[in-house]
Each structure stands twice: as C-alpha cells, then as structure tokens.
Chains A and B, each alone.
Chain A
Amino acid sequence: MSRIAASWSRFTGIVVKELIQLRRDRLTFGMMIGIPVLQLLLFGFAINSDPKHLPTAILVADQGVFSRTLVAGLQNSGYFDVVRSLRHEDEARQALRAGQIQFLVQIPYDFSRRLVRGERPALLVEADATDPAATSNALAALSGVIDTALAHDLKGPLAALAPGASPVELRVHRRYNPEGLTQYNIVPGLLGVILTMTMVLMTGLAMTRERERGTFENLLATPARPLEVMTGKIVPYILIGLIQVVLVLIAARWLFAVPLEGSIVLLFLVVLLFIATNLALGITISSLARNQLQAMQMTFFFFLPSILLSGFMFPFRGMPEWAQALGSILPLTHFLVLVRGILLKGSTTTELWPALWPIGAFLAAVIAIGLLFYRRTLD
C-alpha cells in the first residue's frame, strides 16, 4: 500500500471512530445542538442595546400647561415611563438611590410663568448613570423630545419663544440597519460566539479525553501520525459546526428577520474557515493540556477575551488602541466583521480581504504550534 493510501486509511479510521463515539455520547451531542438553539433564543430576544420604557419619576411643582405638555412629551418618546409622581425631593432621591427609577425629572414651581416671559427656565433631569448604556440613548433623545413637545404650545403670541430652525439641515442615513435593531447586530455575532465556544471546547476535550482514559497510549503505539490524528479529529466537528450554522441562519432569517444581502456561498466559505480555525485551536489546547480540566480552563481563558474584546458585546472602536491590537489577534473579531458585512452590507470578497487573512494567519500559527507540541511519545 502506498504511503498516501495508508495515510488516508488512518485518517478515515479516526474520522469514523470519532463519529461513532460522538453518536454514543448523547450528552455532548445534545449540547452541540442544544447550546446554539438555547443561546440564540436567549440572547437574540434578550439583548437590547437601545433600552426604552425606563422608569421615570417626576417632581412637578408647577401646575402650568407647559409642564403637562412636557410630561406627555416624555411619555410619548417611548424612552421614559412615568411611573411615579412625587411631592418631596427626599423621596425622589431615595427612589433614585434605591434604583427604583432610572430618571428623575424636576419641574420648578414657576416653570410655565418664566417660560412665557422668555426667561429660559431650568428643567432638571437626574439620571442613574451607573450603566451608561442604559441611559445614554434616552438622554440623547431628550432635547429633541422637549423641542417637539413644546412646539405645539408655543403658537400665536408665544411663537417667538419656539426654537428657531437650525442654520444647518442635518441629514442622517442609518445605513445597513436603518431602524437600529440590536438583533441585526447580535444574531450574526452570536453565530461567531457559539462556534467559538462549542468548537474550541469540544475538540479541546477530544485529545485530553484519550489521555485520561489511557487510550492515548494505544493510539501512540499505532503508526498514526500527528497530522492524521489532528485532522481526523477535526473533520467530524466541522460537520457539527455546519449543522449549528444552518440552525442559527434559519433562526436569523425566519425568527429575527435578519437580512442576507451578500452571497450565501461566500458566507459558508467564511464560516468554514472560522470553524477550522477554532477546531485547530481546540486540538492544540488539547495537546498542550494534561487533562480535561486544564483543557477546559484554557478554553475559558480564550473564550472570555473573545467575547469582550472582539466587538461582540462592546463597540470595538470604543476600546483603546492596545486593546484593539489585542482584539485583532482573536479570530472572532474578524469573523464578526465578515459575517455582519456579508449579511447586512452585502460585502464582497475583495472588500472583506482585510478581515479574512488575519483568520487564515491565526489558523496557520495554531496548527504549527499544535504539531510542534503534539506528543509522539509518552515522555
């Protein structure tokens, strides 16, 4: 038998063995399918970066028409839900401290009168800004809300008080996601997160499991070579990864109505590259770790920065340069650019090249390290 045929025979042998073992390991198999579905439903529906209906309390000392207009305006904006109307400042502060309300709006007793006189009365808004993401959108909308609300009442003799037209006509186009839907951003991102988690973890355990059960000694005693073992263990998980991708994409399309602007073929090619990269990383972790626990720890050491520094959770451009540099090493960072680009922007291969090669480079580096550290002997 020629060398290549022998090598192919060993490779297929390992693939078949892994598939049989995977089929018998119901729990793992269930996790591989269950995790993506669960995470997608959970995070897809739960995560919202534009929170609305925030609990607001008002402290109104003024009985004039303008304060009523303002309160109605706040309500109508959708950001503020007036849940309480308070009389005392102490009570209001307490509610803010206790986190019962997100905003406290104070309208002083002579508000309407001073407004009519053109004295620019103060309107105090206090926000619980412990979580900036929760308040920033509402606060940004505030001045517009006030202008629109008052515009109705400032008519006739009061028209002079109405805010004048801005000298510049501002036109904003929110491209690729006009309604600013969080799901358009989160669901494609979840694809990357799910693949990173399951692929690295599952293969991370693959080799250490052999070592813990003592079967590694038998595998080593056979003529099987490192590359055959590594690739043979990777292939079955590529299939699983593709099943996960199809599940997520179906949900993205029919459940979350995320558009697919670009080429689906390109999408799958990118996904394949990403899956292969994560699997190679898992196998490498597997040959570095002494046991399954260590493999698990290493996986989480990689998984956490992947989620936090990749731009999945927080805007990538909001990080300082050193953090961006760190994030640029991670395949997930580039995969997010790729998958969001293909789904939302309809990007082409040429446009995506700057995000493609770093993943390829990561893959090559990881395989090199893996082959270097694969133990051919029991030393």
Chain B
Amino acid sequence: MRALAIDVHKLNKHFGAKHVVRDLSLHVLGGEIFGFLGPNGSGKTTSIRMLCGLLTPDSGSGTCLGHDVVRETAAIKREVGYMTQRFSLWEDLTIGENLDFIGRMYGVRSRTAAVARALDRFGLAERSDQLAGTLSGGWKQRLALAACMLHEPRLLLLDEPTAGVDPKARRDFWQEIHALAATGVTVLVSTHYMDEAERCHRLAYLASGRLLAMGTAQEIVARRGLGAWAVSGPELSAITRTLEALAGVDHVTAFGNVLHVTGRDARSLGEAMGIAAASHPAHRFEPVAPGLEDVFISLMDEVRDEAR
C-alpha cells in the first residue's frame, strides 16, 4: 500500500468568532492528484495553509509527509511546494532573480543549474530578465509553478493555480501536473473548474468549512444519487418556471438549447418529469447522467438550507 502524503484528523480553525474550518479529516495517497473543491470562502485556502505550516490549527492533529502539522512545520516547509492563490513572488525582481532567490531560500544544490533547468522546462528562459510584475497572468502562473517546484518537493499544494489563465495554458498546466504525479509527486490542487476536477484522481468538496464529500468523481456522483433530465423543445424560457414549481425539481439550468433539470431524489424527479412530459407534448424529456457540478450545487443547497 502507498504511504499517505497527507493524513490529518479533525483540524479546526477559527478567525475570531468565525469557524472557518470544521473537523477536517483528509487522507491523500502519495503520487495522487487530489482536487479540492468548494465555493469561495469555504475554507480551502485556510486548509491548505494549515497543511503547509502557515497557519496553526486550533485543534486536531495529523501529519504531512510524515511530519507533524503542528510541531514540525520547519520540516514540512522544506519538503512542500506551495503555490499561493494570489501571485506572491516579487514583482520588482526578474524571473531569474525570483527563482534564484527561492533557490537560496531552500538551499537548492547547484542552484544556477537548477534555475536554468527550471527556466527551460517552463519555457521561461527567453524572459529570464523580464520583471515579474510585467508578466501576464499565464506567465506569472508558470513562474509561480517553476518557483514552487525548484526544490523538487514531494508534495505540491496549489491554491487555485489556474484562476484567470487561458484554456491553452490551463491544458499545458494540467499536462505538467500529470507528468509530475507520474514521477511520484503528490499534488493537492484547489479549483473552481469542473473539467479540472474531473482530471483529479480523487476529490474533496468543502462548503462552510466542512468536508461534504470525498472520493473519485464517479463515487461522489453515485453516492449522491441525484436525478437529472434533459428537456428540449420550443420556448424553453416559458417552460422553465413551470418545471421549477414542480415538487421534486431542485434546479433548472439552461445549457444552450437544452434545459438541465436536477432533483435530490431521483424517483420523485422522475415522477415529476412524467407529469410534465404529458402536459408538454411538444417537448422532449429524457433522463441523463448527473454531473459533478450537479452534485456540488446540490451539496451547496443543502448547506444553505441547514444554515437557515
């Protein structure tokens, strides 16, 4: 069995009166790409910061790469690569100077060669003398990834690395992540994009500081047992309100010429669709497989209902 790269139990964190992370327990296998999902303010960043020793948990215990997350943060910092959500390298240093500085901080062996390799690998060599502050989003993200990998960490913690990056750069980025995972590096990555979530080996979904689901994408979807239907036909906007009013229907979302209808209980949704189909002969009703996004939105609703 593979060793656990992250193994934490019941982590809690408060900021003042706000309970930001509640009883977070995570197990991430070595060499795994682990996706971290959840709406804004769900505690993803706080959780990641606790894992890499930037925040001390109020309670809870666990290890990161075998080091205690409370007492051995120095050892964790040496072996973990952390990419912050906001670009946090020095904008008044050039790409080369930033990498050189990071190399010195981690005591990278034969630093000059390591920096040159990183520049080559991420296609930054030509821009090596450009100030980091003048780079566009995609290039900043490449630089940040190069910087957090310079010391060859065994675990990468990436906090929304692809926010504001164009599709081509995102694809390149994920190719890089998969190549890394193949060499045994563990990657924990937070994201808002569903296509990215589906590229992870396993996922965790956080809302209001609580872990609501964990597993592979298929497992999470299957466990939730959502029903989903596709409705197509004329004048979709008119029918939307009718469908929303039906018992068993939670969400009606327009995707181009198709309405996507979901419900927490597959059976009652099916009955509702049967009734609707009878009274709307011009429309086509067919059951479809629910997606990850459907599950997450439904989970988010549940949390909101509880909060009320």
Q: Which residues of A contact B (CB under 8 A)?
A: 1, 5-6, 9-10, 12-13, 16-17, 20-21, 24-25, 213-225, 376-379
Residue of B nearest to A11 (CB): B104
Residues of A contacting B109 in the complex (Cβ-Cβ under 8 angstroms): 1
A54-B277 Cα distance, complex, nearest whole Å = 105
Residues of A contacting B90 in the complex (Cβ-Cβ under 8 angstroms): 17, 21, 213, 215
Partner of B104, one of A9, A215, A216, A379: A9
Query: Which stretch, B22-30, B46-54, B193-201, B206-214, touches the partner chain A?
Result: B46-54
Residues of A contacting B87 in the complex (Cβ-Cβ under 8 angstroms): 214
A73-B91 Cα distance, complex, nearest whole Å = 70
Contact B97 A214 (CB under 8 A): no
Contact A223 B88 (CB under 8 A): no
Contact A223 B56 (CB under 8 A): no
- Chain B 75-108 near chain A by CB (<8 Å), digits 1 or 0: 0011010101011111111000100111111110
Contact A20 B54 (CB under 8 A): no
A216-B125 Cα distance, complex, nearest whole Å = 26
Contact A12 B106 (CB under 8 A): no
A6-B55 Cα distance, complex, nearest whole Å = 24
Residue of B nearest to A17 (CB): B101
Report A310 CB to chain B, min CB distance, Å: 35
**Given A21-B90, A214-B88, A223-B77, A377 contacting B54 (CB threshold 8 A):** yes
B282 contacts chain A at the CB level, 8 A cutoff: no
Contact B93 A217 (CB under 8 A): no
For chain B, give the interface size range.
20 to 34
In addition to A221-B52, A222-B102, A379-B55, 17 A-B residue pairs with Cβ atoms within 8 Å of each other are A1-B107, A9-B107, A10-B104, A10-B107, A16-B100, A20-B97, A21-B90, A21-B92, A213-B88, A214-B87, A221-B82, A223-B78, A223-B105, A377-B55, A377-B56, A378-B54, A379-B56
Contact B106 A21 (CB under 8 A): no
**Given A9-B104, A20-B97, A214 contacting B84 (CB threshold 8 A):** yes
B297 contacts chain A at the CB level, 8 A cutoff: no
In the A-B complex, list the 4 residue pairs whose CB atoms are closest, starting with the nearest: A13-B104, A222-B105, A218-B88, A6-B107
A1-B89 Cα distance, complex, nearest whole Å = 25
Residues of A contacting B289 in the complex (Cβ-Cβ under 8 angstroms): none
B74 contacts chain A at the CB level, 8 A cutoff: yes
Would you mind naming 10 contact pairs between A and B with Cβ atoms under 8 Å apart? A6-B107, A10-B104, A10-B107, A215-B88, A217-B84, A218-B88, A221-B82, A223-B77, A224-B105, A378-B49
Residue of B nearest to A1 (CB): B107
Residues of A contacting B54 in the complex (Cβ-Cβ under 8 angstroms): 217, 220-221, 377-378
Q: Which residues of B contact A (CB under 8 A)?
A: 49, 52-56, 73-74, 77-78, 80, 82, 84, 86-93, 97, 100-107, 109
Contact B93 A17 (CB under 8 A): yes
Report B20 CB to chain A, min CB distance, Å: 12
Report A312 CB to chain B, min CB distance, Å: 35
**Given A20-B97, A214-B86, A217-B84, A222 contacting B106 (CB threshold 8 A):** yes
Contact B104 A12 (CB under 8 A): yes
A217-B54 Cα distance, complex, nearest whole Å = 8
Contact A25 B92 (CB under 8 A): yes
Report A28 CB to chain B, min CB distance, Å: 11
A5-B111 Cα distance, complex, nearest whole Å = 14
Report A208 CB to chain B, min CB distance, Å: 15
Report B58 CB to chain A, min CB distance, Å: 10
Residues of A contacting B89 in the complex (Cβ-Cβ under 8 angstroms): 215, 218
A213-B93 Cα distance, complex, nearest whole Å = 13
A214-B56 Cα distance, complex, nearest whole Å = 19
Contact B88 A217 (CB under 8 A): yes
Residues of A contacting B92 in the complex (Cβ-Cβ under 8 angstroms): 20-21, 24-25
A221-B52 Cα distance, complex, nearest whole Å = 7
Report A16 CB to chain B, min CB distance, Å: 7
Residues of A contacting B104 in the complex (Cβ-Cβ under 8 angstroms): 9-10, 12-13, 16
Partner of B93, one of A21, A214, A376: A21
A235-B55 Cα distance, complex, nearest whole Å = 29
Partner of A13, one of B77, B88, B101: B101
Residues of A contacting B55 in the complex (Cβ-Cβ under 8 angstroms): 377-379
A219-B103 Cα distance, complex, nearest whole Å = 12
Residue of A nearest to B98 (CB): A17
Contact B101 A16 (CB under 8 A): yes
Residues of A contacting B52 in the complex (Cβ-Cβ under 8 angstroms): 221
A375-B264 Cα distance, complex, nearest whole Å = 46
A213-B86 Cα distance, complex, nearest whole Å = 10
A216-B86 Cα distance, complex, nearest whole Å = 12
A13-B53 Cα distance, complex, nearest whole Å = 22
A215-B89 Cα distance, complex, nearest whole Å = 6
A5-B109 Cα distance, complex, nearest whole Å = 12
Report B14 CB to chain A, min CB distance, Å: 10
Partner of B91, one of A1, A213, A219: A213
Residue of A nearest to B49 (CB): A378
Residue of A nearest to B78 (CB): A223
Contact A221 B77 (CB under 8 A): yes
